[in-house]
Amino acid sequence: MRAGRVGVLLVNLGTPDGTDYWPMRRYLGEFLSDRRVIEWPRAIWYPVLYGIVLSRRPSKSGALYAKIWNREQNESPLRTFTRLQGQKLAAALADKENVIVDWAMRYGNPSIQEVTKNLIERGCDRIVMFPLYPQYSATTTATVNDKFFEALMKMRFQPAIRTVPAYPQEPVYIDALAHSIERHLASIDFEPEVVIASYHGIPQSYSKRGDPYYEQCLQTTELVRQRLGWDEKKLISTFQSRFGPEEWLQPYTDQTVERLAREGVKSIAVLNPGFVSDCLETLEEIAVEADKTFREAGGRNFTHIPCLNDSAEGMSVIEALVRRELSGWA
């Protein structure tokens, strides 16, 4: 084993291995049994999860994944983009001879434990772990940290570690979002009257207990708004993907899209600043379902602005934040 290397581990949310019932059930079972994601008492939640949700939801979710599945690679778009981000970051850091870049998923494969173990076996005695979430939430950043630390707890030799913090106000991130918006809007044949920054939601109760996610989402939107010179009516924040009976962060994306159309707005654009890579929630829930909702309510022109993915703008963000955390190590 060659010692003295530095590992860079990119971690995204996760992905099922396939769209059939059992791969979807394994993925959803791991995801929805996470205490950071569902904070209900287990005595209440597990009968619902194993008695109802995991009986019905895998088939429904699998059908949705099938609509966006990367059939050439036989994988989800999230996995495709995360792998590309890892490959492009490795190429960008070619000047750092002692750095090894790899990637993992919080839920599904490749697992955090598997990839962390591999980095150590390849000689990494230091690891920079990067949860790929611009805004911090216990449901995302914290659970990635938990799983990473849990993997280290099982190891006799532990590397020195650094974790990349959330970056809702980082200038390189705000500039990247602004550039991607400008480039996309220049490529379409209409001018949106309203642009919606749609973030993944969390239950309001989580926010009330101290999760900073809501405030950080609004900070990102405000900084992008300032960067583009837009007012509060041109760029608005909404929240999507709610699940279960609780009240989630509002306003809800689907209701807002419908309301705007009924109020006479004919052209809108939607982006997802909280998602580093396009996935089911952006490609199906927004690009397909929100589009359909808008048009059925009377809207005419709808466009989804892609996530930063492995674009030049997206990679500039990842590279800048990783290089900062590598300072003194590589």
Answer whether residue 120 is part of any domain: yes
Are 190 and 321 found together in one domain?
no
Average pLDDT, the chain: 97
pLDDT tens-digit map of 200-214? 999 999 999 999 999
Are 190 and 147 found together in one domain?
no
- Per-residue model confidence (pLDDT) at position 3: 62
Are 163 and 19 found together in one domain?
yes
Phi, psi angles (nearest 5°) of residue 89: -65, -40
3-state secondary structure the chain: CCCCEEEEEEEEEEECCCCCHHHHHHHHHHHHCCCCCCCCCHHHHHHHHHHHHHHHHHHHHHHHHHHHCECCCCECHHHHHHHHHHHHHHHHCCCCCCEEEEEEEEEECCEHHHHHHHHHHCCEEEEEEEECCCCCCHHHHHHHHHHHHHHHHCCCCCCEEEECCCCCCCHHHHHHHHHHHHHHHHCCCCCCCEEEEEEECCEHHHHHCCCCHHHHHHHHHHHHHHHHCCCCCCEEEEEECCCCCCCECCCEHHHHHHHHHHCCCCEEEEECCCCCCCCHHHHCHHHHHHHHHHHHCCCCEEEECCCCCCCHHHHHHHHHHHHHHCCCCC
Integer angstrom CA distances of residue 324 from 23, 52, 165, 316:
37, 46, 11, 12
32 and 14 Cβ atoms separated by less than 8 Å = no
Are 196 and 148 found together in one domain?
no
CATH assignment at residue 192:
3.40.50.1400
- Per-residue model confidence (pLDDT) at position 2: 55
Are 146 and 74 found together in one domain?
yes
Answer whether residue 330 is part of any domain: no
297 by Cβ neighbours in 10 Å (0-12 / 13-18 / 19+) ranks as middle
310 by Cβ neighbours in 10 Å (0-12 / 13-18 / 19+) ranks as buried
Answer whether residue 289 is part of any domain: yes
Cα separation, 199 vs 240, whole angstroms = 6
Q: What pTM did the predictor assign? A: 0.96
Burial 193-216 (b: 16+ CB within 10 A, else e): bbbbbbbbbbbbebbeeebebbeb
Answer whether residue 320 is part of any domain: yes
Answer whether residue 34 is part of any domain: yes
Are 148 and 36 found together in one domain?
yes
Phi, psi angles (nearest 5°) of residue 272: -125, 80
Q: How many domains, the chain?
A: 2
Are 213 and 109 found together in one domain?
no
Are 202 and 266 found together in one domain?
yes
What is the domain extent for residue 222? Answer: 171-304
pLDDT tens-digit map of 244-288? 889 999 999 999 999 999 999 999 999 999 999 999 999 999 999
Are 138 and 187 found together in one domain?
no
274 and 230 Cβ atoms separated by less than 8 Å = no
Are 213 and 121 found together in one domain?
no
Answer whether residue 198 is part of any domain: yes
- Per-residue model confidence (pLDDT) at position 244: 85
Are 212 and 296 found together in one domain?
yes
Are 10 and 155 found together in one domain?
yes
pLDDT tens-digit map of 147-164? 999 999 999 999 999 999
pLDDT tens digits for the chain (330 residues)?
456 999 999 999 999 999 999 999 999 999 999 999 999 999 999 999 999 999 999 999 999 999 999 999 999 999 999 999 999 999 999 999 999 999 999 999 999 999 999 999 999 999 999 999 999 999 999 999 999 999 999 999 999 999 999 999 999 999 999 999 999 999 999 999 999 999 999 999 999 999 999 999 999 999 999 999 999 999 999 999 998 889 999 999 999 999 999 999 999 999 999 999 999 999 999 999 999 999 999 999 999 999 999 999 999 999 999 999 999 998
Answer whether residue 74 is part of any domain: yes
- Per-residue model confidence (pLDDT) at position 1: 47
Answer whether residue 271 is part of any domain: yes
